[in-house]
Structures are given as structure tokens and as C-alpha cells.
Structure 1
Amino acid sequence: MQDADQGTPEGLDGEGLRIGIVQARFNAPLTAALANACRAELMALGVAEKHIELVLVPGALEVPVVLQAMARRDEFDALVALGCIIRGETYHFELVANESGAGVTRVSLDHGVPIANAILTVENEAQAWARAEDKGRDAARVAVEMANLLEDIT
């Protein structure tokens, strides 16, 4: 049954799952809020704290390579990408947003591991703060749902 508010299945069960999280340090207070919300939600869904591995990287462009290294270890049921890219006055925003997103998707498809992409792409810091906790929780739910789904269909 679907939850009417979030469109997610009721009864998400993270028990026994191993989840890897890669968090960009750039815009650290925002990415820490994402990570804290994600970890709290994972544990609320039954993922044991000892089965959550968090790795910090400099920025969003470095997230995919660490996701790839974690995926190669074949120890995780799902991965989570966390970061925050705030639009500036140059084209750099588009470059970082596009390339980090493409890299996350490529790692997921190449390794067959679900990756919840919660790299925020926003116009300003206020938008990022308005989204950080919800997106962190959403990423946890997506990771658990997709790990369970892939287990069910494979």
C-alpha cells in the first residue's frame, strides 16, 4: 500500500540492510543536515547503525568516484549520494550539477546497486535549508525501498 503523502510503500524494512553514504563537504552545514536526517531515517527504518558507512569527500564532483569504489566492494545493498550545489554567477553550477548527476547514475547502472541521489541543486542557500532534512529522509527511504525491490526481483 502506498503512503498518500509521500508516494512510498508503507512498512519499509531496513533490517539487515547495509547502506553506504557519500557526503560532499562543500556547503558542509547543509550536507551535514542532509546526512543527519538520512542516518536518523535509516535507523528509524531498521538499518543498524553499524551497517551504515559514511564517507566524506570534498565536493559533489568527487561523490561518484567514491560511490564507485564502494559499489566495487559489493558489501552494500544501496548507496546514498549527498551534496549541495548552489547556483552562482557562472556556468560552473551547471557543470557540477550535470556531471555529478550523470556520474551517480552511471555508477548505479554499471554496478547494479541502487543509489539514492540527494545532491541538492538549488538557486540559493535558503532553498537548500528548506529542503535539506526532507531530502535526507527521502534518500534513506529510497535507498531502503530500492534495496528491498531489487532483492525481491532478482
Structure 2
Amino acid sequence: MHSDIVTLAPNFDGTGLKIGIVVARFNEDICHGLRDRCLDELIRLGVSPSDIVLLSVPGALEIPLALQNLAMMEEEGFDALIALGAVIRGETYHFELVSNESGSGVTRIGLDFDIPIANGILTTENDEQALARLDKARECAQCAVEMANLQRGLIEL
């Protein structure tokens, strides 16, 4: 590699980062599993529990509004946000609507407010698939910390 190329290496040190998490309650057992794994991983990465704000909303469609409210709280100074929920296919078109709209809303909030958001809203065919993907929440915690540090690093360039 060329020595004159500026490179920002992945940084998973959560020390000093403020993280907001929004968790849906629909499919509660799965969402509690996501929440607990995410919190465990954030703390393992060095994020102080006092620097974590956790919100609960009814379902995946309500997540973007709660994220938007967190993003607008400039005095809190969140470095990254995390969305956690589970949308499990049923017999109607509602699955597609909720999956697409919640995902679109999460992405839009991140871009509109220039804040990293790790999207951990599972979209699965059944409960078994969702339970098998609970560690996605750990990946979301890692993503939030890495992207928050990347944002900080870009500012310092």
C-alpha cells in the first residue's frame, strides 16, 4: 500500500460515544433478544451505559419517527443510532409494506440528519428465522460504533 494514501481504519472503540437505540415491541420476545444482545455488545465495545438512550415503540413503522426525534436532540449529541425490530411474514401484503416503509424511513433519517444508523429490523419468513438472527443486534452495535468513529475521523481530516 502507498504510504501517502490517507486511510481511516475501522475503529470499534466505543469509549465516549453516545448511542440511541429504538426497539419495537411487536414480536416482543425476539425484540427483547435483539435489545439485550445489542446492549451487551455496546458495553463490551466500551460504550458507557450512561451514554446509551433506549426507546421502545409499538412496531417497526414507528421506529423512523423515534429515530428522527433522537436525531433532532442536538443537546444529546448522539454519535449513532440503532433500530431494532422484527417483521415476520404473515398471510397479507402488510409484511412488504412494513418491511419496505420502515427500512426506507430508517435510511432517510440517517441521510437527512447526517447520523449513522445501524438497521437491525429483521425481516423474516417465520419466528425460527428471526430467532436464528438475533446476533444481528451485535453486528448493529459494532456497525454503530464503527460508523460513529468514521464520522469523527472524517471531521478530523
Rounded Cα–Cα distance in structure 1 between residues aligned with 2:10 and 2:100: 32
Looking at structure 2, the residues matched to 55 and 70 of structure 1 have their Cα atoms a distance apart, in angstroms, of 9
Aligned residue in 2 for 1:145:
146
Partners in 1 of 2:47 and 2:34 — Cα distance? 17
Once the 2 structures are TM-superposed, how far is the Cα of residue 10 of structure 1 from its aligned partner?
6.7
1:98 corresponds to: 100
In structure 1, what is the Cα distance between the partners aligned to 2:11 and 2:107?
A: 27
CA distance in 1, matches of 2:54, 2:12: 21
Q: Where does the alignment leave 5 or more consecutive residues of structure 1 unmatched?
A: 1-8
TM-score by length of 2: 0.90
Write the deviation string for residues 59-84 of structure 1: whole angstroms up to 9, x where unpaired. Answer: 00000000000000022000000000
Return the offset for 1:12. 1.1
Equivalent residue number for residue 46 of structure 1: 46
Structure 1 residues 65-104: aligned runs within 5 Å:
65-74=65-74, 75-104=77-106
Distance (whole Å) between structure 1 residues aligned to residue 10 and residue 61 of structure 2 = 34
Cα distance in 1 for partners of 2:44, 2:16 equals 13
Match of 1:3 in 2: none
Larger Cα-atom Rg = 2
- Over the aligned positions, Cα root-mean-square deviation in angstroms equals 1.0
The alpha carbon displacement at 1:131 in A equals 0.4
Letter in 2 for 1:146: M
Detail structure 1 runs of 4+ shifted over 3 Å in the superposition: none
1:147 aligned counterpart, secondary structure: helix
Task: Give the count of matched residue pairs.
Answer: 145
State the TM-score, normalized to the length of structure 1: 0.92
